Amino acid sequence: MNARTPQIPVTVHTFAQRLSSTRRGARLARLLAVERLQAWQVSPAVTERAGQIVAELAANAALHGRVQGRDFQVALTLDEATGTVRVSATDARGEQLPTPQADFEDPAHSESGRGLLLVTALADRWGTEPYPPSGKTVWAEVSPRSG
């Protein structure tokens, strides 16, 4: 006798968009991400956190990861089974990897340098991955918080 175990289908939604490496492109990345998360009916709390993370990662990609004539890409992945959203921003500057330590040096006395501090506070986890041939992807994951 061969019994099959019923399996719950896992639904994963994805979204990716290339944008110009400008302030306008970074702003558009946040607007598009929030619209997509709302369309996927992600909870408002997760949407708000993920939207802020997109804003920071896109701004960093446009400012620090900019290479003349090259765009950056923002991507979202939603795992419906867990409610986890993965945000990523890919740019052309793989030699400049972000570190949380750089953000903690003395952000109170500088005009910038708070982006990864916010990402660290809002995300459950974040990191970087190489994007061959010469770029990098900075990603962050946001899960629903209990309580």
d(CA 113, CA 73): 21
d(CA 104, CA 106): 6
DSSP β-ladder status, 12-19 and 72-79? antiparallel
Alpha-carbon distance values, 84 to 71, 142, 146 (Å):
27, 6, 13
Measured CA angle at 44 (ends 38, 47), to 5 deg: 65
pLDDT tens for each residue of the chain, 147 residues long: 567 776 666 689 999 999 999 999 999 999 999 999 999 999 999 999 999 999 999 999 998 777 787 889 999 999 999 999 999 999 987 777 776 654 445 555 555 557 789 999 999 999 999 988 888 999 999 999 754
The pLDDT mean for the chain works out to 86
Alpha-carbon distance values, 22 to 59, 83, 127 (Å):
8, 31, 23
Query: So what's the pLDDT on residue 123?
Result: 96
